[in-house]
Chains A and B, each alone.
Chain A
Amino acid sequence: MEDNKLNIVYIDEEHDQLADFQADAELSGLFEEIYLLEPKSNLDEMVTEILELKVDAVISDFALNEAKVINYNGDQLLNAIQDIRHNFPCFLRTSYEDDAVSNSFDVNRVYVKEESMELHSESNLFKRVAAQISAYHRRFEAIKLEHINLRHKLAKEGLNSQETDRLIELDDLIESLLSAETKTPTEVKKLALSKFDALMNSTDKLINDIEANLKGNSSDA
């Protein structure tokens, strides 16, 4: 049976906060793996470590430098992740509501920590995380299916220019969701779908014709 439980990672420099988060997340029953990470001094290394975990969502504390010297904050970390994987589910936890309002945060990913010390105090956050992961997967699936259908139509009967543009748009979206920084340029895709074939076919024919002639000449000799 395919396992659909969710994996998440939480980043915080304070051990107590990491432990509290883990306890609450486990109690929510929504997650299979809950990875806990302390921030590394190098942002790129941090991003690589997070992405290698292959989690479904990333949650980071805003202030990552209260216990050690870190020259980026949680918002910058999440931006770096979403630069590579567009629209990837990311959440920023902050204790200070003013931070969330005064900074230019993406309000959709900010979550102000609950003051309550009771267990389940973060259940709203976990419900939001699970709902956003689910919405992200549904959207990704819909894009993939439309892409596959247009690919089938292209192979069977060809596409009109509007459909070709839509195929390339969907292709761009999929690449941006997986690895935006190494995405294939849109113009290259247009050319790849239309321009190579005639040249490659005529070159194949030329190679075959000349090879046949060369063989014929050598057997004549």
Chain B
Amino acid sequence: MLKVREIIPKRNFVDKKGHYREYRFDLRKDFNGACGYCDDNDEFQDKSTFHIDHFAPKSKFPELELEYENLVYSCRFCNVAKSNKWISNDAEVSHNGVKGFIDPCDDNYDEHIYRDFKGAINAKSSIGVYLVKELNLGLIRHEYLWKARKLRAQKLKLEDILSRLPKNSKARVDVLEAIVGLVREYETYFSWACR
């Protein structure tokens, strides 16, 4: 069982701005360039397709439109799916223990969903069931993009090992063969993700 996000996002202090879109740069940095909800990384996608989500919806709580603490760097799929859903009439009450959303910057987020060893996102609580259903966290793209990141991390790790292996060793040949295999996969699948 793996965590959905390798690094938990953390909002740092940011001066108030005149429009929520002006927080994009700060948000991207604080969310490590990944969607707060599903962890899809924006480096494999057109960054302009990443949205700024108002955790407590701005249509229900317009006073929070410019509050940095209420903003989430979000992929288009999670943001559109989340839409204006909110289970209460209070911006502070995001869930009732059974249904609702958890702020992605809350440590508690990972108590409700996990990633299996193939990269698919699953629920481990009632709220997790709600999150997976409402945000469509079972979409194959989330698994695909996780695998794409893992392939690249493996390639980098092998390149590091290669630099430390003695020349003409059997292990070096194994590593080189593995790198060639990974690069082939990388080229096949990343050509779409990097377009």
Q: Which residues of A contact B (CB under 8 A)?
A: 1-3, 7, 33, 51, 53-54, 85, 144-145, 147-148, 151, 155, 167-168, 171, 174-175, 178-179, 182, 184-185, 188-189, 191-193, 195-197, 199-200, 202-204, 206-207, 210-211, 213-214
Contact = CB atoms under 8 A, between A and B. Distances in A.
Contacts of B81: 178
Nearest to B77: A178
A187 B43 CA distance: 21
A189 B99 contact: no
A148 B138 contact: yes
B59 to A, nearest CB: 6
Given A188-B189, A191-B189, A211 B140 contact: no
Contacts of B150: 200
A193 B157 contact: no
Nearest to B99: A2
A2 B134 CA distance: 13
B91 interface: no
Nearest to B150: A200
Contacts, number: 118
Chain A interface, >50% SS class: helix
A199 B181 contact: yes
Contacts of A199: 151, 181-182, 185
Chain B interface, >50% SS class: helix
Contacts of A195: 185
Interface centre among A1, A151, A214 (most CB of B within 10 A): A151
Given A3-B86, A148-B133, 8 more contacts: A2-B87, A51-B80, A148-B132, A174-B139, A178-B77, A182-B77, A191-B189, A193-B140
B138 A182 contact: no
Nearest to B129: A148
B100 to A, nearest CB: 9
A61 B133 CA distance: 35
B174 A179 contact: no
23 contacts: A7-B84, A33-B59, A85-B80, A145-B133, A151-B120, A155-B122, A174-B139, A178-B81, A182-B45, A182-B49, A191-B189, A192-B140, A192-B189, A196-B151, A196-B185, A199-B151, A199-B185, A203-B154, A203-B181, A203-B182, A210-B174, A211-B161, A214-B161
B3 interface: no
Contacts of B143: 192-193
Contacts of A33: 59
A214 B188 CA distance: 31
Contact of B164 (A1, A175, A193, A214): A214
Interface centre among B77, B86, B88 (most CB of A within 10 A): B77
Nearest to B118: A197
A189 B59 contact: no
